A and B are shown apart, each in its own frame.
Chain A
Amino acid sequence: MLLALIRKELLALGRDIHGMGALFIMPVIFIVVMSLALKNVYDAPRPASLTYAVDARDTGEQAKAYATTWARSHGAPVPLPADWQERLRAGSLKYVLVLEAGLSDELALPSFPTSSRVRLLTEPGLDGNLFNTLKAELAGAAGELKARAALSETDATPPKAGASMADLVTAERHAGSGPRPTAVQHNVPAWLVFGMFFVIASVGGLFVQERQGGTLARLRSLGVPRSTLLASKALPYIGVNLVQAALMLAVGVWAMPLLGGDALSLRGIHWGALLVAVGAVSLAAVGLALVLACAVRSHAQAFAVGPILNVLMAAVGGIMVPTFVMPAVMQKLAAWSPMNWALEALLTVLLRGGDVAATLPHVGRLVAFAALMWLLAVVLFRKSSR
């Protein structure tokens, strides 16, 4: 009996083109588009590729040396156009360095500056990270010139050519033995979670149809237990979730490199932890889907409430906008979103190389949420199938 009802559910889903699209095609498209669009998000900002000009109002030796040092690491500037302010506003010139009079004197002094001698003017839309990077690099270059000037006044050995304070620091993202962070590594779990939770739209549609069309009453009158009916709804969609996971991972591993993106790396990940995380996400998603299916009363509600709730949860939960760019209040709100727990559980495995124990805080929340949803679904189903 259960197998026949599961088969019915899968046949109905398989013939629902829109449902299939929402569950399988849409997340794939999101993964591809977002991964390509955010391809460089984990790379360091590249200020060297930006078009810039220098407005040298100080023609002293130190100011010239400063401009030369900058040009070595950021490329040669374009000649300063007469309408540079307009071009800056329009964005065709990314930034202009204004070297104010007195800069050379300031750089030669063995003391910390007390007033601004270098002005960085950028186009209005310059990325905040780039803006800060440029500012820090300008300060760093000035500091280095000051240090060289100060050193030349002492008996110390002059620094080697090419030596720099930058050599003092190395930086890397630490993920243990896990994969290298890339946009694909972040977007596959994010949109996989989104797609898995989209079962809330598919389950509800057929359930409303069964209730309104009398099919559910007919099945009940044939003596089909409520537990069997609920299981026949839940099990196929847990299967759907697993297929989604396999498909999205496959897209990340094999399709993304063909499309010009980075490949999803599964090297070094803990497969048991991945299975546990996907399983927990599926239980939570299907539980929520069952609750909504039992709660909605019409097709209009089913087709509106499910997707809207999904998109809202995605927005709050860090799927659409990463939580680290959210303000503190929104980050606290995100911490209450099941989609955020799901995302963090998968990121723990796929981005941070975590094992089962590392996923447990998020998996635990997901399982508790799933238990609550399943309980609520049983109560609502008893009520709605009378």
Chain B
Amino acid sequence: MLAIDGLGFRYPGAPQAALDGVSLQARRGGVLGLLGPNGAGKTTLISHLAGLLPVQRGSVTVDGVPLADSRRANPTRIAVAPQEYAFYPMLTVAENLACFAAAGRLSGDRKRDRIAACTAFAQLERFSKVRAENLSGGLKRRLNLAIALLPEPELVLFDEPTVGVDPQSRAFLLDAIRSLATAGAAVIYTSHYMEEIEAIADRVVIIDHGQVLRDGSLAELLSDGPVVVTVRAEGVDAATLRPFGEVEADGAVLRVRLVPGQSAAAVLAAVEAQGVPIEHAEVGRHTLEHLFMSLTKRSLRDD
């Protein structure tokens, strides 16, 4: 549905481009996880999709139609659920929904139906008359979600939608967002929580310094890395495991990234050969977080 091809953007006076040849696609029925450290270019990309920045270089099309033309014809096909609580705290839940429904050009029965549907979807019925400023963090996130869905967009972009919510609200939000994709919408989901991306995304794009570093299905990205054997055993000599691959020791826990040709069974056999009892063992691929950190490096991002 959404195709971004070679998108480049430089803010006036900035020494380097915020986006430098970004290409990605978001399909109906799927969730695209968008990962990147602070300053990677995510916000600039989101601002383009929200129609707040013009395309300087490259192209952004929606079903083959340039984004600007698509937005002109129907500005609510793409919705952005921003990271901020982008609603009016002094208004009630119902008043906020009515305001944004009208801003999205809904009227009459359609407006009433969509407000009712989105209120139910976000399970906000009991809070309709509560001022938004008095809602808990989780309820505020749900109101943010409900507002984004009012015009029934075909593509929804969620910018860190679970920041500051409890595990229950997070689970609810993830289920709700996943159900949107299941119902046929295209979803782009940005988050710093890797486990959320792993739980919800079909495809993952990792960007940094305005460039796409990886783009693929979650399975493809995770299969990129080596097999990791994690062993918990007191008193194992880590040096004896180095022939099997890179060893990372954390107290009694050893993590071995196997080099090609080595197997998990050989690592476990080597530990047992030392006469040390194995308390716990785990074999798997490296996680998305490992991949993300190895691609974007560990240096702090202050911007």
With a cutoff of 8 Å between Cβ atoms, the chain A residues found around residue B209 in the complex are none
Rounded to whole angstroms, the CA-CA distance of A64 and B271 in the bound complex is 130
Pick the residue among A212, A215, A223 that contacts B88 (CB under 8 A): A215
> CB distance A219 to B90 under 8 Å?
no
- Does A267 reach chain B (CB closer than 8 Å)? no
Pick the residue among B71, B76, B83, B102 that contacts A214 (CB under 8 A): B83
Pick the residue among B52, B79, B103 that contacts A1 (CB under 8 A): B103
With a cutoff of 8 Å between Cβ atoms, the chain A residues found around residue B103 in the complex are 1, 4-5, 219, 222, 224
Measured between C-beta atoms, what is the minimum distance from B190 to chain A in Å? 14
Measured between C-beta atoms, what is the minimum distance from A293 to chain B in Å? 16
Rounded to whole angstroms, the CA-CA distance of A7 and B71 in the bound complex is 26
Pick the residue among B50, B87, B98 that contacts A217 (CB under 8 A): B50
With a cutoff of 8 Å between Cβ atoms, the chain B residues found around residue A212 in the complex are 84
B85-114 vs A, Cβ < 8 Å mask (1 yes, 0 no): 111111100010011111111000000000
Q: Is the interface of B mostly helix, strand, loop or mixed?
A: loop
- Does B75 reach chain A (CB closer than 8 Å)? yes
Q: Knowing A4-B98, A221-B51 are in contact, say whether A12-B88 is a contact too (CB < 8 A).
A: yes
Pick the residue among A12, A15, A218 that contacts B100 (CB under 8 A): A218
> CB distance A222 to B82 under 8 Å?
no
With a cutoff of 8 Å between Cβ atoms, the chain B residues found around residue A218 in the complex are 80, 82, 86-87, 100, 147
> Size range of the interface on B?
20 to 34
> CB distance B98 to A222 under 8 Å?
no
Q: Knowing A4-B99, A5-B99, A215-B88 are in contact, say whether A222-B104 is a contact too (CB < 8 A).
A: yes
Rounded to whole angstroms, the CA-CA distance of A5 and B102 in the bound complex is 8
Pick the residue among B71, B85, B104, B151 that contacts A213 (CB under 8 A): B85
With a cutoff of 8 Å between Cβ atoms, the chain A residues found around residue B98 in the complex are 4
- Does A135 reach chain B (CB closer than 8 Å)? no
Q: Knowing A16-B90, A222-B103 are in contact, say whether A213-B84 is a contact too (CB < 8 A).
A: yes
Q: Knowing A5-B99, A8-B95, A217-B52 are in contact, say whether A223-B76 is a contact too (CB < 8 A).
A: yes
Rounded to whole angstroms, the CA-CA distance of A117 and B80 in the bound complex is 90
With a cutoff of 8 Å between Cβ atoms, the chain A residues found around residue B199 in the complex are none
With contacts defined as CB atoms under 8 Å apart, how many contacts are there between chain A and chain B in the complex? 81
With a cutoff of 8 Å between Cβ atoms, the chain A residues found around residue B147 in the complex are 218
Max chain B Cβ within 10 angstroms of own Cβ: one of A4, A217, A218: A218
With a cutoff of 8 Å between Cβ atoms, the chain A residues found around residue B99 in the complex are 4-5, 7-8
Pick the residue among A3, A11, A386 that contacts B91 (CB under 8 A): A11
> CB distance B50 to A220 under 8 Å?
yes
Rounded to whole angstroms, the CA-CA distance of A215 and B144 in the bound complex is 10
Rounded to whole angstroms, the CA-CA distance of A52 and B84 in the bound complex is 73
- Does B219 reach chain A (CB closer than 8 Å)? no
> CB distance B51 to A223 under 8 Å?
yes
> CB distance A221 to B79 under 8 Å?
yes
Measured between C-beta atoms, what is the minimum distance from B110 to chain A in Å? 14
> CB distance A12 to B91 under 8 Å?
yes
Question: What are some 6 contacts across the A-B interface (CB < 8 A)?
Answer: A5-B99, A12-B88, A217-B47, A221-B79, A221-B80, A222-B104
Give A contacts to B, CB under 8 Å.
1, 3-5, 7-8, 11-12, 15-16, 212-215, 217-224, 386
